[in-house]
Structure 1
Amino acid sequence: MADQRSRSSLLHDFATWQPVLRLLWDGGEQEQAAHSVRFAGRVGRGSWSLPRRRQSPGPGRAALADDMRDEMKAVERVQRALADAGVDDVAFTAEISPGGKAGLRLFGASPAVEPGLGNPHPGTLILVEDAVPRPWLHLPDPVPGAVPAPSADPALLERTLRERLPEAVGATEAEIAAAESRLGVALPEELKALYRVTRARWEDHVDDHSAAQRECVAVGCELFALDGLYIAEASSRHCLWKFAAMEAVVTPPDAAVQGVVGSPGWIVFGDNGGGDRLAVDLTPGPRGHTGQIIILSHEENIGACLVADSLTDLVMRRSSERHGGGADGDRPPAVAHVNIRSLPSIEAAAHPGLEVLHIGAWEAEPLSLAPVMELPRLRTLVAYPGTLADPLEIAGLSALEFLELGPDEWRVLLDAGAVPRSLSAAAITVHGTRDPRPIVGIANELLALWDRPRIIQTVLEGDLEPMARG
């Protein structure tokens, strides 16, 4: 086991953790006299999750910072140690005896493990270094017949913006050429016309604090400076593996926008004020126009929505009546959910184009994977604990790149030497408040199969009695 005694740093000093442990021990006061108590949690630089019941603020009153003052004070010491060590967060488990003897186990970060989602268990294991889910490798398809929309009118666009922004400082041709060189793509004529009117630099506004707002109103979005333009390739759309692996690229034949994660032809030039990015689309869908305006939602991992057929339409407040994309109603979905509220069986999900199978809450007999064993594109399987009749069937799924199972199912595969070697990433589903130690043990066994850096466990020991009340 990747285990070691305490190391020399504030994070690995028992005194750093003593206030947190005291807080948790006091919260379990009724049980202390009878037996040892065990706790598990996670502390990050900006947040924490502790197994502690907080007192209700009472009817008609919201919770206040004062209600959590003791908890915040205890956690602050650990957060300072995290910052000092250059670590984002740390998970822990602790066992405290009736007499106050405490054993603390810290689970260190590994470059091969994504952060957990607020609990003390490991996040997704990256088994192949720098691996990304298949949708993040999918480039847009060529659309040879795509042309600009009839409404695209660079001259009208420039004239309108000069009327709306008479004091704006425009970009020079040399500055536009420099932006094209940096991006590695020629800017469409409409985008050039926009930046010839205003290069949108904050310093150009001098002391006119309302200039940026006038610019926003004139264009129809929060405009990025010319040197802030960027290409929304897939790598710019960060997503945790366990969520990214659930996506699939789908572009119906009547779509205006391709259902890809990102594209070398998506030039981002603004924001809608809520974190969603506007881009000029040079790689449209089968029914789209070159240079159409799309919006990339910060709440979505893939695809984009059509906003306007051209930048001219955006500035002239003419929205598009076409749709951007969506599911192809003529084909079964590439992502299937089998559970008590969705598909009633794996047979109902199986078809040659299936890429992602998610087996969720299930009340009937455990399911067999036989209906999907020969599917050539099935790359993601997520199965809630207890839903599979025979976990060893997974060994026959030769194209899997991501697999998420419960601890017991992973134990079956590990003991049989049947973990699919095609995997690039894996995750362990944990329900309830299970002890993190065996879960970390399974994670380290999986990481070892790919010779990836393990989760280091640091053991600290100390006594809480010196801080006893009174």
Structure 2
Amino acid sequence: MAPQKPLGHSIRDFATWQPVLRLLRDAKADKAGAEPVRVAGRIGRSGWSLALPRPVPPRGRAFRTEDIQDELDAVKRVQTAMAEVGADDVSFSATIEPAGTTVLRLFGPSPAVEPGIGTPHPGALILVEGSVPEPWRRLPDPAHEAGPALSSDLESLERTLRERLPDAIGATEEEIAATEARLGVSLPEELKGLYRVTRARWEDWADDYKKAVGVSEAVRCELSSVDDLYVADASTRHCRWEHAAMEAVVTRPDAAVQGVVGSPGWIVFGGNGGGDQLAVDLTPGPRGHTGQIILIGHEESAGAELLADSLTDWILDRPTHERRHRGEEPPLVAHVNHASIRSVREAAHPGLEVLSIGVWDGEPFSLAPVIGLPRLRTLAAYAGTLADPLEIAELTGLEFLELGPQDWRALLDAGAVPRSLSAASVTAYGDHDPLPIVAIANEILALWDRPQIIQTVLEGNLGPLAQA
């Protein structure tokens, strides 16, 4: 378990926060009166979320950073203090009296809590240290019957590459063996053949950008050096718990590529320049070939796209048509809301893994239709959509649960929080005070004896609000 880092003295100095708090109070000046003003936000090392209006630049001029220089300076002051103590993210809430008397609460950090996104509320609570959602634990099925495509032609591959790259410096057998030892996997012969022609090291091109471009054109991608090959297993595809828990992976019987998050048989050897990675696939789907070329998209969390049946096909730019599943099957991830599936009963089937109940204007739903489903592992329910939150206790296979504060309160008071959970989320929308959300989150963390969200209380005075 990673040790908790207490916030340093500079972060605890009220003066560090004064510029941010003044900006937030000024933004609510129209609401100021005899009642206190509550403000909240989140500041991280490389970004922040503050409810501040952005000025409209003069007509004909683009927005400039100097238009929000006060905001940038105020945030930078806090970020500098954070850097001094190694804090990556701090959320806060403050109550400001009309005379300027202020109580500021800082929340965090906790190694058991992911930062929220665009909100001062905590993100996912990691109840089991080191846990990851089921799709990230899923290994590819063994491809015992798969073999190389008939188009695989090592001699043609190497000959073509040598014609395109006559002056290239190839990797030695020792360098290839060292890469295999580092990766813990034997490279397929086609990939070895590619690197025997060029090892793709920048120093071999004498910092000549045109030569690097020539190699990219010859191999139809931005080729990684032989030293930079890596295995794209699930750990290389980071995803936040609350997002990853909503995913489900499946490999159809006629799929060329397995629908997993990552694989010990996906060897990345290049990219397309847009953030997507090209890999040789040694664990193909039921209708695929060992050594086929796939594209691992940076905007997708699971699966990959077939590009070519072999590296030879890819280099020679031969067309490949992926075999796609056309049948209709019940979804593994079901969204119940006013614009999609309209009942929990309609969503229920034995293969259901994820149930998400969203905005709904009708009567709240009973969870009875999904009780006992063998694969249901994730439930996310919008506030007010559950007829009886205590039915959740009968969902004995849940590993992730996302609820609003009131539903969590009901479970906590009844001692009915499912002990099968690996992670959880307390979701609140709009301008909801972070303090009660943090309190509920800490109650949940305590059930698993996980590190609490630290709260630091600072007091100071911002002075009275300037009158316009």
Q: Deviations over 1:307-362 (max 9, x none)?
A: 11111111111131123x66x73531211111111111111111111111111111
Pair 1:163 & 2:157 matched: no
Correspondence list, 1:21-420, <5 A? 21-323=21-323, 329-420=327-418
Shift of 1:167: 1.4
In 1, Cα distance between equivalents of 2:280 and 2:319 = 14
Rounded to whole Å, the distance in 2 between the matches of 1:262 and 1:25 is 47
Provide the C-alpha distance between the structure 2 equivalents of 1:467 and 1:397, rounded to a whole number of angstroms: 52
What secondary structure, in the 3-state scheme, does the structure 2 residue paired with 1:246 have? coil
CA distance in 2, matches of 1:322, 1:24: 53
Over residues 215-272 of structure 1, what are the superposed CA-to-partner deviations in whole Å (9 max), with x where a residue is unaligned? 1100011111111001111111111111111111201100000011111111111111
Give the partner amino acid of 1:257: V
Structure 1: distance between partners of 2:143 and 2:172: 32
Q: Deviations over 1:66-104 (max 9, x none)?
A: 210111111110011111111111100111111111111
Q: Distance in 2 between matches of 1:59 and 1:444?
A: 49
SS of residue in 2 equivalent to 1:293: strand
Q: Is the 8 A contact 1:289 1:309 kept in 2?
A: yes
Instruction: For 2:65 and 2:132, locate their aligned partners in 1 and report how far apart those are by CA, in whole Å.
Output: 40
Query: What CA RMSD, in Å, does the superposition of the two structures yield over aligned residues?
Result: 1.7
How far residue 468 of structure 1 moved from its aligned partner, in angstroms, is: 7.0
Q: Which amino acid aligns with 2:9?
A: S
CA distance in 1, matches of 2:456, 2:374: 43
Q: Structure 1 stretch 50-59 or stretch 290-299: which is displaced more? A: 50-59
TM-score for the superposition, normalised by structure 2: 0.96
2:26, 2:465 within 8 Å by CA — same for their partners in 1? no
- SS of residue paired to 1:253: coil
Q: Which amino acid aligns with 2:360?
A: W
Counterpart in the other structure of 2:3: none
**Cα deviation, residue 201, structure 1:** 0.7
Distance 1:42 1:9 in 2: 19
In structure 1, distance between residues paired with 2:189 and 2:30: 73
CA distance in 2, matches of 1:207, 1:37: 58
Distance 1:446 1:108 in 2: 16
Aligned to 2:437: 439
Displacement after TM superposition at 1:168 (Å): 1.1
Matched residues, number: 463
For 1:3, the equivalent position in structure 2 comes to none
- 8 Å Cα contact 1:259/1:304 also seen in 2: yes
Distance, in Å, in 1 between the alignment partners of 2:25 and 2:87 is: 26
**Helix, strand or coil at the partner of 1:146:** coil
Contact 2:308 2:319 in 1 (8 A): yes
Distance 1:231 1:82 in 2: 35
SS across alignment from 1:113:
coil
2:426 counterpart residue number: 428
Deviation at 1:63, TM superposition (A): 2.1
- Give the Cα–Cα distance (whole angstroms) in 2 for the partners of residues 143 and 44 of structure 1: 44
Q: Secondary structure at the match of 2:247?
A: coil
Looking at structure 2, the residues matched to 365 and 207 of structure 1 have their Cα atoms a distance apart, in angstroms, of: 67
Q: State the AA in 2 paired with 1:151.
A: S
| Distance apart, 1:60 and its partner CA | 4.6
Contact residue 99 and residue 465 of structure 2 kept, 8 A: no
Identity %: 66
Taking structure 1 as the reference length, what is the TM-score of the superposition?
0.95
Note closer, same or farther for the CA distance 1:7–1:154 as it changes in structure 2 (3 Å cut). Answer: closer
8 A contact 1:32–1:97 mirrored in 2: no
Deviation at 1:469, TM superposition (A): 9.1
Answer whether contact 2:7 2:85 (CA < 8 A) is retained: no
